Structure 1
Amino acid sequence: MMKKLFVICSWALLLGGCKSESGASDPDGDKPVPPPSAELLQKIEDLNAGLVSLKTLAGAVSQSEVRSLAETEDGVRLTFCDGTEVTVACNAAAEAPLIGIAVDGDAYYWTLAAEKDIPWLKDAAGAKMPVSGPVPVVGRDDKGFWTVTTDAAVTPWQIGDGSGNPVEATGDEQVELFRSVKAGNGRVEIALTDGGTLSAAQVNDLSVAGTANCYVVSAPGTYVFNARVRGNGAGEGVGFEPAIEMADGMTADWLWTDSEGLVSGVALDTTSGDIFLTVGEGRGNALVALMQDGKVVWSWHVWVTDAPQTMTYGNGTVFMDRNLGAAGTTAGGTDAYGMYYQWGRKDPFYGGEKTETSANAFLEAKNGTVVNPAYPALDWAFSKSATTTDGAAANPMTFYNDKVGTGYNWLASPNATLWGEAKTLNDPCPPGYRVPETGAWEDLISGRQYIDGVSVWDGTNYGMTYTHGGQTAWYPAQGYRNYSSGAIVGLRSSTGGSGAYWSAETSSVKSYYLFFRSKLSSSGSINNELDMNRSYGYTVRCCKE
């Protein structure tokens, strides 16, 4: 028994059974029927192509979730998680449909929706035609009327309107199937020309704009990203193959989060190589990992914050308005504190609101985060040793440091290409952003001093404000994690604290960074030409690629 009608093939034909004065008056009339125009032939082709797309869409919405939507010249392209792609052309003024589909039991069947009682479209054997089977083909007969056939072996018959009269193919018909496509609240709503709606769950694709080691999430919902690529997959000599091959025993899970329930439902689709996750209410950070037999293969930073804004500095560099990992931008507020990074590593180290001693290094991290108990070998830790790039990736919560040559490093064999002028697969910034070069801050500085009206030390809020073009950027003096212990130092001290921001540039064995505070004795108050051991944990302010 038919349960519910979903007329979704909204061909937008201008119906009603009216007869054209210049066309055929009835099937047996003897008036000459002009050949179909090129425009009409194109519309017939578009209608049949639309039916094929409709079949694909009907199957996709019942079996998969929408992964992404994109505006194209031909309409809205919907990409589903199972790989299906359908492009729909929308027309808000389209008229009522001619042919549609309806549900009978648990399956969709083609119907002649123009008929009063919605009769089923039948195949050569007289059986109802499931939408999952052959697609009806429309055309125009030699008398100038619309026809339909359900099988290559079946002679086409004329399509009748609600009164049983044949429908003339005039060339004035509209061919769009859909009125609009809208996304919101975790669903995609497809408005049809007959007033009905198709609805599909939406999974937001974080990697649709490109893969990276960090993804920004600004609203609760279900998300997915491509786990088959390390970072952005670019850069040579960084110690990793760009591609990740899916293998038996692989799973996905969260490793830590700074807010209970911020990230949940983490799962790996081993067929597609996608990681799915659900983000709840709140703002904060989490680390999600691809695991194999309980060990980390690669991990990604999920940064839950309001969509970062950008500001163009005086030299043309476009910066984010906040530190990487910051929940906000409040001057003097701890929400503006971001994560700490050892130079060249992709994984964030939790910050905190207080300084630490060597004896209680990572106390802020242990008190401020929830660590997944399913992986007891993974926890916030300091290791007085150097490691490999593989070792660092497998232990993203361990802060490494050792004497390496003439400097201190987390990496046993120093590598100056882990970050660079061109973004690499080890860069910690989200898609479209990278770690800046030192020159990006050149217009903040005049001979190692602040510039009046441009860069100003704020002794009340402990940080620096940069002003250009009527906009301001806030740089908190967040301190850093000391290379020798991993402890947070330089944060809101009696001298006002200090700021330390990594650049992508390197010296022989060290790396350059932006350093500022209220006053530096021999080095001035602000300096972007200092270099320091790569095992320090400094903050990062990402700039546009």
Structure 2
Amino acid sequence: MKKYIVYLILCFVSCFIFSCTSVYEKGDTSCIPEGMERLTFKVIVSSSKVVGSNTRSTALEKENEIKDLFVKIGYYDGDHYRNFYSTQNGTIYLDSYKDSIYRASIEVPVGTFRDGDNIYVWANQEYPIDVTSEEELTTPLYMSGIGTIRDRWGGGRDFEADVHLLRGVAKLRTVVRTTKRSVLGSWNININQVETQILHMPSCIRPFAPFETHRNPAANDWWNDVYHRYIDCTLGYLGWWISWENSHLLSSVELPIDDGVNVDKVTETSYDRYIYENWLENESDYDENTNVTALKVRIPLWNNETGENRTIESVIPIKTNDSYRILRNHIYTVDVRVLSLDEVKIFTDMLDWEDVAVTGDIVGGADFDIDKKEITLIKDIADPVKLVKVDCHAPGRLSIRALKSNKTDLMSTTDLQLYCNGITETDKLADNSGIYDLTAAQVMNFYCTTGSVPANYEGGFIEISSDNVHVVYIPIGSLDTFIPLDTEGTANSYIADRGAASYSFIATIMGNGANGIIDEGKFEDAMGNILTKAAGADIHPLSAKLLWQDTDELVEQVALVNGRVQVKMGRSQGNALIAVYDKANPNAEDAKVLWSWHLWCTAVPQIIEFTVPKTGNEYKMMDRNLGATTITPALWTTQGLHYQWGRKDPFTSPLKNDEKSTTLYNVRSVGSLWKITHEEPLTLAQAINNPDIFINRTWSDDTWCTKTSDSETTEMRYVWGNPEGTIADYPSSTIKTIYDPCPVGYKISPFDAFFIFNESGVNMNGVTAYVEDKMIFLPITCTPDWAVSPATSGMYWSSSIFGRRSDDFYWQKMGALLYFYPKGTGINKLNTTLWLGFVQAGSIRCVKE
């Protein structure tokens, strides 16, 4: 009977608790004892962050644990806080909620709490204690934070708050390793005996870190009280060494690092050193000999041939971003790279412990890595560009948002539009916010377009979070400084010689403008209209797009801004083709290319001057082929790009001798091979509309252009500006036309420029000529239709056609060219009287106008 009564009592209590919880969640305060009020608050601890590129580390066990909680409410009146509570005196009930999030509650007499009061929270120790010794590594860390109390239902009895806790310490991670650049010979690092020691200690520690991102705007002037800004610490020097012999080691780990060095061996501690912040108001107050936090590293080496031992010892002041401040809740990495017995390079870096979002349900804690720390964007990007890659390491819920500078309001999609894993309408993120439930580890790629007012997203952020536990904020800025490429005039190609910079050029003029139009040639624009010099060469594009690049991430962003193409570069060598369109969306099915430009990323070519003995014509020729990024004979990047005779747009060739076609990339790193078609010949307008399509006809003496389809049409001889030049005629001057592919100030070589070459100069890599002690070299090449075969010859177009008579149809579709076979092919021949059909692809060597 007694057991039955106890059972009924337990059932009644359970039902009462369930009922109380149920009505309580609806705002009913009947569960709160009469005369009392309740404060329920979430305590969120920043999740652990695994360092990305330079190091790997195992976090301290229970790093996010809260054992004890201390709370003060309200303002400081000079003597005390209005209220003080703790788990130690039983006035705080603390419960673990999910992972690094805790729920706590306090019940007090009615009238104690007020809406808008500050709540000051710190955890685990009432005062900071030393955590640098090995004995303290298992002690829960000192943490602190501030929140604001809210009256939950406006009734004055049920209050809530959210408080983010920052750790009162910083992590210190150390890596000692060799790299591919190391030249140690028979010397080896004695991995198990590497030792580290902290030499200096902090001067000042603050009980609450004044980070604007972790304080509530409602915090009042109490925050600035000098007494609470920081406290003095007199911990002094640390004298003990921590040896790696007793720690768990990771060896022979292949890790990518930020300077492109491949790693041979990596050794690192499997736990982190925890040190207090070293924070002074003025940076100039730090003295490297007394109060700067420093690390001393001993690296023992032994010689596997002689058995000799040696020790490398280095003292490393911890300085990042030109500051000696050691900030709480940050991770400091020290990367020690042993290059030789006498050379050790030290790299230091500082990362945040990431904060945790307060919104939404808390489920799990999937980790992820991102490939960007900050983002700068051009305005008016119409073709979506890479924004960020998120590598999710485990299943879970991933969310992404584009936020304004307050980290709360969503950014307008007219200023920045996010896309996920694609660029179609269905890939757009509505309201720039997306949530993805991932059932497995995977990589998420996000792209974006931008609007016309970059100031609207200046200072904004891309927020990425997993399960509301791991959160990162990537700052967004505007890119508005560009190097103009057209200061000396316009052309169909521009040399970008300043490395991975940002460039711009006018996008409303075709080629070199009206001076490049020959009325008799019946030139056409992209709409099929006949151009005249008097009418000019203007166009009115509405968007821009990267068609292809032969090196991934050479071009990162392209946009049309106020009639100029703006380009953000990522790398410094390669070739790209950029087009402008008649539609605001360049990817629309009916969008038409109005014009296109070749961006040639190479060093500024040198000029070689010479006079052709046979004709007396003087030329100033480039030292490299159009599109070449090197001039070394044995490298395939010396051959440059290839052109069908009369076309302004290039086609790629292999970048190395592997019998494979070059992969072309767009701004999203999506690769493809170049396009080829066997369709009927194009008009000039259609060639402009399709700058990335190679017309491959059946016969080598055929043409890609309809202008040579009958014997009475001879306008093609004007296209490259040399209507009087033939295989037998050598005019002293030619005209650069709007279809000429050469950069500003250059034009295609007339035919007689190649008369300086002869068979005696042919070698295994090409042909060489010497003019007054100046060498000119033409490398062997392989054309696009032969791209999968080794280069066995050289073919260089001139601006001349082959035909001698204007009424001879057959010869009006032939171009005059230099052709040679190198040594080793069994032919060793150079031909300066050869012709081939316009459909063939040849190399170009530019000369000065």
- TM-score bracket, shorter-length normalisation: 0.5 to 0.7
Distance 1:491-1:378 versus aligned 2 partners, 3 A rule: closer
Compared CA separation, residues 376 and 394, structure 1 to 2 (3 A): farther
Alignment length (residue pairs): 316
Pair 1:489–1:286, CA change in 2 (3 A): same
1:439 and 2:752 aligned? yes
Equivalent residue for 1:172?
none
Which residues of 2 match residues 169-248 of structure 1 at below 5 A? 202-219=481-498, 220-233=500-513, 234-236=516-518, 237-240=522-525, 241=531, 242-246=536-540
1:391 aligns with 2:693: no
Asked whether 1:348 is paired with 2:650, we answer yes
Contact 1:517 1:525 (8 Å CA) reproduced = yes
How big is each residue's C-alpha offset from its partner over 1:380-402, in whole Å with a ceiling of 9 and x where there is no partner? Answer: 22333211111111111111144
CA contact (8 A) 1:381 1:399 kept: yes
Aligned-partner residue type, residue 330 of structure 1: T
* Alignment-derived partner of residue 26 in structure 1: none
Cα distance change on mapping 1:516 and 1:532 into 2, 3 Å: same
Describe the superposition over 1:58-83 as per-residue Cα deviations: whole angstroms up to 9, x where unpaired: xxxxxxxxxxxxxxxxxxxxxxxxxx
What is the one-letter code of the residue matched to 1:326?
A
Aligned with residue 263 of structure 1, among 555, 561, 570: 555
How far off is 1:532 after superposition? 0.7
1:297 is displaced (CA, Å) by 1.4
Contact between 1:436 and 1:542, CA under 8 Å: does it hold in 2? Answer: yes
Identity, in percent, stands at: 30
Deviation digits for residues 354-384 of structure 1 (CA, Å, limit 9, x no counterpart): 7899xxxxx613xx32135799999522333
Taking structure 1 as reference, are residues 374 and 353 closer, same or farther at Cα in structure 2, changes over 3 Å only? closer
Match of 2:719 in 1: 418
The residue that corresponds to 1:430 in the other structure is 743
Query: Deviation of residue 466 (structure 1)?
Result: 1.8
Structure 2 residue 809 is matched with structure 1 residue 512: no
State whether residues 378 and 397 of structure 1, in contact with CA within 8 Å, keep that contact through their aligned partners in structure 2.
no
**Aligned twin of 1:310:** 607
> Following the alignment from structure 1 to structure 2, what is the Cα–Cα distance between the partners of residues 376 and 518?
33
CA contact (8 A) 2:553 2:669 kept: no
Asked which structure has the greater RCO (Cα within 8 Å, sep 6+), the reply is: 1
Q: Distance in 2 between matches of 1:375 and 1:300?
A: 20
The one-letter amino acid of 1:457's match is V
Structure 1 residues 347 and 458: CA distance shift in structure 2, 3 A: same
1:282 is matched with which residue? 572
One-letter amino acid of the counterpart of residue 523, structure 2: V
From 749, 759, 762, the equivalent of 1:457 is 762
Aligned partners of 1:407 and 1:510 also within 8 Å: yes
Does residue 543 (structure 1) correspond to residue 838 (structure 2)? The answer is: no
SS at match of 1:424: coil
CA distance in 1, matches of 2:564, 2:481: 15
Supply the RMSD in Å over aligned alpha carbons. 3.0
Cα distance, 1:509 vs structure 2: 2.2
CA contact (8 A) 1:491 1:498 kept: no
> Which residue of the other structure, out of 451, 466, 471, is the alignment partner of 2:769?
466
Instruction: Identify if the C-alpha distance between structure 1 residues 230 and 245 changes in structure 2 by more than 3 Å, giving closer, same or farther.
Output: closer
Amino acid at match of 1:418: V
| Distance in 1 of aligned mates of 2:681 and 2:693 | 11
Structure 1 pair 407–268 and aligned structure 2 pair: CA distance change class (3 A):
same
Q: Give the residue type in structure 2 aligned to 1:214.
A: S
Which amino acid in 2 is paired with 1:321? D
1:322 aligns to what? 624
**Mapped partners of 2:642, 2:491: distance in 1:** 18
Distance 1:468 1:489 in 2: 35
Distance 1:393 1:372, change over 3 A: farther
Q: 8 Å contact 1:490–1:498 — kept in the other structure?
A: no
Unaligned residue ranges in structure 2 (runs of 5+) = 1-478, 526-530, 587-591, 613-617, 709-715, 722-733, 804-811
Q: CA deviation at 1:222?
A: 1.8
Q: TM-score scaled to structure 1, two decimals?
A: 0.53
Q: Work out the CA distance in 2 between the residues paired with 1:238 and 1:519.
A: 42
For each residue in 1:204-232, what CA deviation from the matched residue of structure 2 results, as whole angstroms up to 9, or x when unmatched? 21111111000000112221111111111
CA contact (8 A) 2:556 2:667 kept: no
* Paired position in structure 2 for 1:531: 835
For residues 599 and 719 of structure 2, the distance between their equivalents in structure 1, rounded to whole angstroms, comes to 21
- Match of 1:488? 787
Letter in 2 for 1:396: P
User: Is the CA contact (8 Å cut-off) linking 1:354 and 1:488 kept in structure 2?
Assistant: no
Does the 8 A contact of 1:438 with 1:529 survive in 2? no
Provide the rounded CA distance (Å) in 1 between the counterparts of 2:786 and 2:503.
34
Write the distance in 2 (CA, Å) between the matches of 1:290 and 1:218. 23
Question: Are residues 1:299 and 2:596 paired?
Answer: yes
Please say if residues 674 and 693 of structure 2, whose CA atoms lie closer than 8 Å, have aligned partners that are also in contact.
yes
Letter of the 1:345 partner, please give it: R
- TM-score (ref. length: structure 2): 0.35
2:661 aligns with 364
Correspondence 1:124-139 to 2 at 5 A: none
**In the superposition, relative to structure 1, how do residues 524 and 422 fare at CA in structure 2: closer, same or farther (>3 Å)?**
farther
- Shift in Å, 1:288: 0.8
Q: Does the 8 Å CA contact 2:762/2:830 hold for their aligned counterparts?
A: no
| Aligned mates of 2:692, 2:555 — CA distance in 1 | 18
